[in-house]
């Protein structure tokens, strides 16, 4: 995340809690998604690859930060289902919000179709069923 190679205040805060951000894998108007690694500070052998959605509150619309984002966080924190991405943790530093969640190494469905072409009917039915159940 740091251009100069030295850790800034955000990276230091994350590192204290066991998180490091790697390459960006997605970007929107006021958020970026990074691959992240987590090492449990209490158990250094426990490591996880995560995705981190970093929302810049200074760039986001006010109604998003005050209305939609809190609702998204509440719902994401409460949902536990095998076909829905799980939240690992949520951190805030000043006007930046870090949502750490399960990382799906195979990407999303659109990426899959772009890379592999059309999906056969049997596979489509299975994935559609999983989407509906999620």
* Environment class of 38 (CB within 10 Å of its CB; exposed 0-12, middle 13-18, buried 19+): buried
Beta strands at 47-56 and 87-93: parallel, antiparallel or unpaired: unpaired
Q: Is 59 left (phi over 0), alpha (psi -120 to 50) or beta?
A: alpha
The tokens describing 39, both together, are 């090492």
Alpha-carbon distance of 45 to 73, in angstroms, equals 29
Tell whether 96 is in a known binding site: no
Secondary structure (3-state) at 106: coil
Is there a contact between 90 and 100 (Cβ–Cβ < 8 Å)?
Answer: yes
- What residues are designated binding site for ATP? 53
- What residues are designated binding site? 53
């Amino acid at each position: 995340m740091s251009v100069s190679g030295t850790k800034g205040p955000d990276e230091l805060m994350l590192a204290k809690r066991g998180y490091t951000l790697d390459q960006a894998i997605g970007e929107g108007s006021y958020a970026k998604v990074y691959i992240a690694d987590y090492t449990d500070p209490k158990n250094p052998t426990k490591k996880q690859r995560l995705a981190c959605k970093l929302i810049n509150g200074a760039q986001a619309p006010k109604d998003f930060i005050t209305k939609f984002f809190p609702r998204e966080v509440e719902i994401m924190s409460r949902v536990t289902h095998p076909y829905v991405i799980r939240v690992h943790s949520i951190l805030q530093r000043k006007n930046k919000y870090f949502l750490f969640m399960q990382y799906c190494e195979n990407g999303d469905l659109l990426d899959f179709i772009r890379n592999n072409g059309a999906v056969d009917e049997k596979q489509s039915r299975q994935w559609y069923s999983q989407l509906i159940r999620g």
